[in-house]
A and B are shown apart, each in its own frame.
Chain A
Amino acid sequence: MLSKRKISCVALALMLAMFAAGCKKKAPPPPPPPAPRPEAPPPPAAAAPTVASFSAEPSTIQRGQSSTLRWEVSGDVASVSINQGVGAVQNTGNRRVSPSDSTTYTLTATGAGGTTTANATVTVTAPPPPPPPTPTGPSKSLEERITSDLQDAYFDYDKNDIRADAQASLTQDAAALKSILADFPNASIVLEGHCDERGSAEYNLGLGDRRASSAKDFLVQLGVPADRLKTISYGKERPACTESNESCWQKNRRVHFATGQ
């Protein structure tokens, strides 16, 4: 008796499993009817809902685009819901989603016969990267090279001697200048001499000239071709900084590089 019940239970489980898998195949032949039993058999268990389909179309999107979830649930259904913030839905429907990252949506169909789940994944790809930055080298403009590769040389008050820090700057500038002048064979570079606001404008025009010419001499000694370097003095006509204090004055006592005509 016990063994027969066991057999029928196994058969029932087999049938349920086939239902749950959505298998439309013909059920295997029913087991032989149970032998008459002294007590009533348990009522047949209701089948769990069947998720006929659950898909995301397209399944792969770029970030910012959207995908459509489609689902169809049949059987004895009490409720259908989708996680990831979609919430309760009808048995059959669709919903546009626009996840910012790859997301697996889980559809949960609940009925008297149990709960069935199915997954659909939307894969999110990053948008195509911006065009790669302009590679360094000849494609950078002369102005850009001057701005990025050359540094100003600074001077003491009323002096045009090349200080230790200016020697270091100009030594680096010399290497950069050779490279720039090689890349731009028709270009010439202007060394601008500038001064702070002290002293007369007239005298400073001379002082700025001396600074530009000291810097030029230094660069030429390091092998920068003299005929590609020009000088101009702006005295205190074009200050980089206009406050009346030493930190500002120091910024103005400089030789600055610019393109020649």
Chain B
Amino acid sequence: MRKLTWVVTALAAGTLLTLWGQIVGKVEKGIQMHHVAVPDFRGSGVSPNLMNAFNQTLWDDLKTSGQVVLVDKTMYPKTVPQQPSDFRQPPPTPNLQRRRGQEMAVPQNGGGLWMSDWSGPPVNANYLAFGYTAMQNGVLVLYGNLFDVTRSDTNPASQPLSKRYLATTADENGARQIAHEFAADILKIFGGSSLFGTHIYFVHQAAARSPKEIWVMDPDGKNQRQITHFNSTSIEPAVSPDGSKIAFTSYTRGNPGIFVFSVDPVRDLRFYNQVASVNETPSFTPDGKQIVYSSSAGHCCRIYIANLDGTGFRPITSSQFIDTEPKVNPKTGATVLFSTGRSGTEQIYIMTIDGADIQRVSEGTGEASNPCWHPNGQALAFAWTRGFAAGKFNIFVMQDPGSHNYVQLTHDEGKNENPSWAPDGTHLAFMSNRNGREQIWTMLADGTQVTQLTHDGLNYSPAWGK
């Protein structure tokens, strides 16, 4: 009800709020979203395993994108075109006036091989994704098409998409790759962007009390790889704006200190840690040339800024309070969100990059932490215990740091922490223990399409980057 009221307000209020509406307003978007039919593709000489991986990936990418509505597969005709030349226009509908009873019982259509079979009831789709895969000379090939089925036009050149895709490997990874690429092209047609090619860094732990290591995975939870091998406690990953580096905190040298790694290849870039019992929560400035972090040097804990190698460090805040989790505005680079105990329990504040104009962003009740800028540099996501016992965090999105206009995205399902925006600004990754154990989940910024990405061991602190 609150959300609905909000969206109505947003619609009435003008351009600034329209952007907000795009982030969180599903109701507004639903009116315009296209309905796409995506029947399962078949493969020529391609194993059922590969085709399952392909079809599942294509469906999931489009479904979780939030950009289109997928029509339920049970509505589809039994026969599905596999290439543009399969379309057959059915004979003209006979005059129903003359032989009404008989003709009504057997309506004329293409049995799935004509546009109106997909655009009419019960499918009611605007678009049809179809095609097939084949193994050609040991290479997995996809012929993928997206046709506007409201137009009776079988010429591929005048339809939105008809393209050949080559897998780099003839295995399940290759099948997923061409599905990701095809889905990305489809989403581009609708003005959306694909998450394919982005990465989610996270903290993985095999079991409670095991070492914590930094891992990375694709945005669908596949292709999980271990980055650190410190056999220690390595936490709090952050990604550089260009996606080439990560920063994190590790106990591998005793006290918690900051590390900066390149990710391809994985290499320690040797961040110099100033002498302190705690250096933690590193993140990058938008130019990727500096690191902001929290340090207990002198007395816990001040926000510092330093060069990428740790040199030239200087404090931004005073050390009267615990100041931590600094996040520089990704668009302007001029302001910093951070969490602090300066007004009692942990709250989110904002200041300039020089430490001036410190103002509270969160309401001041409960505990608010884990601030994360939206890529647009206006909205933010954060974790807040509002309405719940201390420690029971939920994910919230706030329109901008100066407003108290926020939407609650998770509701009374365990602890939900560490929201991280996807580069597309429409998805969030977060940690939740709603199924009993800490795992990484994703959702759209309106709280729908909630998807669990990790299942093995314990997983925390997602950081979503390029």
A residues apposed to B, CB below 8 Å? 157-158, 196-203, 205-207, 209-210, 212-213, 231-233, 237-238, 242, 244, 261
Query: In the complex the two chains form, what is the Cα distance from A199 to B339 in whole Å?
Result: 11
Tell whether, in the assembled complex, residue B324 and residue A203 are in contact, meaning their CB atoms are under 8 Å apart.
yes
Cβ 8 A contact of B296, one of A198, A201, A202, A206: A206
With A209-B300, A210-B300, A213-B299 already in contact, the answer to whether A202 and B255 are too (CB < 8 A) is no
Asked if residues A202 and B281 are in contact (CB atoms below 8 Å), the reply is yes
Complex CA gap A226/B255 in Å reads 18
Contacts of B460 in A (CB 8 A): 201
Establish whether residues A206 and B301, one from each chain, have CB atoms under 8 Å apart when the complex forms: yes
- The answer for the CA separation of A129 and B341 in the assembled complex, in Å, is 60
In the complex, 30 of the A-B residue pairs with CB atoms within 8 angstroms, ordered by the A residue number, are A157-B390, A158-B344, A196-B391, A198-B367, A199-B390, A200-B339, A200-B369, A200-B370, A201-B235, A201-B236, A201-B460, A203-B322, A203-B324, A203-B325, A203-B339, A205-B256, A206-B278, A206-B280, A206-B296, A206-B301, A209-B296, A210-B322, A213-B299, A231-B277, A232-B255, A232-B256, A233-B278, A233-B300, A237-B233, A242-B208
**Given known contacts A197-B391, A213-B277, A233-B256, A202 and B236 CB-to-CB distance under 8 angstroms:** yes
Once A158-B345, A233-B256 are accepted as A-B contacts, the answer to whether A202 and B280 lie under 8 Å apart by CB is: yes
Query: Is B417 interfacial (CB-CB < 8 Å)?
Result: yes
A200, A231, A244: the one within 8 Å of B346 (CB): A200
Write out, one digit per residue, whether chain B residues 422-466 have a CB within 8 A of any chain A CB (1) or not (0): 000000000000000000000000000000000000001100000
Interface residues of B, Cβ cutoff 8 Å to A: 208-209, 212, 233, 235-236, 249, 254-256, 277-278, 280-281, 294, 296, 299-301, 322-325, 339, 341, 344-346, 367, 369-370, 383, 390-391, 393, 417, 460-461
- The CA of A231 and the CA of B277, in the complex, are separated in Å by 7
> Least Cβ distance of B48 to chain A in Å?
44
Q: Among A157, A201, A232, which residue has its beta carbon within 8 angstroms of that of B277?
A: A232
Assess the B370–A212 pair: CB atoms within 8 A: no
In the assembled complex, which residues on chain A have CB atoms less than 8 Å from the CB atom of B301?
206, 209-210
Min CB–CB distance B238 → chain A (angstroms): 11
User: In the bound complex, how far is the Cα of B339 from the Cα of A209, in angstroms?
Assistant: 16
How far is A197 from B389 in the complex, measured between Cα atoms in Å? 12
A203 to B339, CA, bound (A): 8
Which residues on A sit within 8 Å (CB–CB) of B417?
A: 200-201
**CB atoms of A205 and B255 under 8 A apart:** no
Tell me, rounded to whole Å, the shortest Cβ–Cβ distance linking B113 to chain A: 57
- With a cutoff of 8 Å between Cβ atoms, the chain A residues found around residue B278 in the complex are 205-206, 209, 233
B235 partner residues in chain A, CB cutoff 8 A: 201, 237
B324 contact from A157, A205, A237, A261, Cβ within 8 A: A205
Q: How far is the CA of A196 from the CA of B278 in the complex (A)?
A: 18
Apart from A199-B391, A201-B417, A203-B324: 11 A-B pairs, beta carbons within 8 A: A158-B344, A201-B235, A201-B236, A205-B256, A206-B296, A207-B341, A212-B277, A232-B255, A233-B277, A233-B300, A238-B209
Task: Give the chain B neighbours of A197 by CB distance below 8 A.
Answer: 391
- Name the residue on B nearest A260 (C-beta): B254
Closest to B393 in A: A200
A196 to B461, CA, bound (A): 18
Instruction: Evaluate contact between B256 and A202: CB separation under 8 angstroms.
Output: no
**Closest B residue by C-beta to A231:** B277
- State the CA gap A206–B295 with chains docked (Å): 8
Q: When chains A and B are docked, how far (Å) is the Cα of A233 from the Cα of B233?
A: 12
Contact indicator A206/B299 (Cβ below 8 Å): no
CA distance A107 to B124 in the complex (A): 112
Could you tell me the distance between the alpha carbons of A203 and B281 in the complex, rounded to whole angstroms? 9
CB neighbours of B255 from chain A (8 A): 232-233
Contacts of A237 in B (CB 8 A): 212, 233, 235
CB neighbours of A232 from chain B (8 A): 254-256, 277
Which of A157, A198, A206, A244 lies in contact with B300, CB distance below 8 A? A206
The 10 closest A-B pairs by CB, nearest first: A198-B391, A200-B369, A206-B322, A206-B301, A209-B300, A198-B390, A209-B278, A203-B346, A209-B296, A210-B300
CB contacts (< 8 Å) of A210 on chain B: these are: 300-301, 322
Question: Which of chain B's residues have a CB closer than 8 A to the CB of A158?
Answer: 341, 344-346
The distance from the CB of B211 to the nearest CB of chain A, in whole angstroms, is 11
